[in-house]
Chains A and B, each alone.
Chain A
């Protein structure tokens, strides 16, 4: 059996979530990688365990319509087609499944055999074991559940492919990228998140950043904090935001709604700081502190 993994590069580097998807794919047999866009082919060829890299430089915005059409043309050579559970993967792979009349399997957290997988449902409140009868199994992989392959050690060949014919119905306009010197949320060793208890966007910066700086942490936010405009949407941790599982997760001023817990409860160590001793976040926290954020967070920054 051979698996094909749709991988993503950022600034010429393969994203860690894609390397986790490759680790998952290696359970099935040989692995090829498909890379869309101009950069990253060299980095992809160095990933260990890859047979060959299919590189499509012309699809630089990874629009779902041409990407799914391209994948559909490649599908007959593969038993499994995977990607990370990323916004790119979630956009493209179900469309591919629609073209192939297959049922995609979203956000796989465990692989039992070639056809049997475990995935969370109901915002992680239940785990479903599912079995696919599709001839090509299409799935996205939750990166926090699979240790990524290393960045180098391999020497795969690179094959350049042309973009498929395009009907011009879907066009890229712009990407407004958020700039940050901090690690990406999904790969950070430490994450500090803020909720509505921080009261406004400027507190979000002044209270969380000194701690994040000391710990080399990524900054996350609850849905309520994002909805209130304290933080941009890509910082949201939760069922409908990003799912993270860092070594240390520090939750501040957030109560721990079910949908937030779904995004962080697999973290190794959880710290909760909240003024409300009854907040559900304390039920999952290894260490809790009850008190005023506006005193405790500056004190914590100082103590670190």
Chain B
């Protein structure tokens, strides 16, 4: 037997590490790998934060129940909220942008790939640091996701968990900002030949508007966290009202735009799904693009509506800017409804989630207008009404958009189809769970249940509504379990080679990512799969229509 030639280099394609190994994954500058890492990390954290929520719902199912101590309960709601906002819904949205924007604009890669990878690592490290608070003697931070001083200072929250929370959120947000810059720069400067700004797909446009808000508003959070850190070193600072109310202004200058950062990419994913599964071009494209930009601009002027009850904000002004948001929001609904009214609907799993998004998010949006009205807000702010509102926006809305996106792009990302029947089961359980969990919370808040309470007295009459809500949470748990099993099972079958192979374009897509292979090659497009001519924001639809017209004109031989 002859000695085998040195083949070590061969399997690695000339790279220092083999491309399929874990080391290559975590050091890759391929935007697709960074995107998948970001999305997978946020999905794992989604499960963790979800179990915190289930624990809280278990505790609140009955009055005066103490399954967990008040200390732990306060940590759970803090880390649930912080985790979902800073480490799950926002990074997932940006991660989608990292994965999809270069593909949608026909670019071979992302701008500033190494910094993008750094952004991911800062985010992952931040999440770990925040969660590490649970391992400290005093437990994790316990002052809610907006952590107002003086409650969050070192006198009233002395534990190291609070310091870790500040450090973790700071790191993760820095990472998000870096990734946001990369996606924005890519969308603006890396577009392929013919891809004018008004030929950008709706999703890419939404990422541009999103990243504008990221770079415009997220630094305010870093400033707020910096203020908190200084105040923990010297709590005397927060004896003066100016820094307490100043913190709130800084925080909400970030805290409202981030709501739209957690909304636009999912809205746009829903829009893409609606258009593709309606078999037509997205309706009212230009109005939607304009409304996204108006929305992003206005988003930075509305923060004071979180402070109506402080007695230290100009309520009329913030009410004006907040209610003005109904105009761009209405335009987006016009486009979504218009798309399906003129469509030929196919009800695959992505479409189910996208369709449910429309009425469910609307409940969040309409109650948002109510909360933007000071005389209503005085009563319901800081109550379960707000909890219901924000979960309708972020869960009944964004999470449905998230799942629509997962079912829609899973074949492109992995090369295999995600289980269809499990998808439908996941969907129906999620619809039931979402509405049974969050609808009663509107009534609870209206009746006088404050948010962030670890228990309530039996005579207050909140018992059965809370029980109903907790029953709904069980449906949510079952639903997410079905989803997790579906994804893991499909991936397992992919490894075994028995999963259903995904074609390049399983749904009849409109945008450029469906023109390349599933999964896309390292540089996205190859001579076998070149970038098609970009003739509109739905180039693949144009191509199909040209072919049909050609066939109809008896010129079927034209490619």
Chains A and B form a bound pair: no
- Which residues of B approach A to under 8 Å, CB–CB? none
Which residues of A approach B to under 8 Å, CB–CB?
A: none
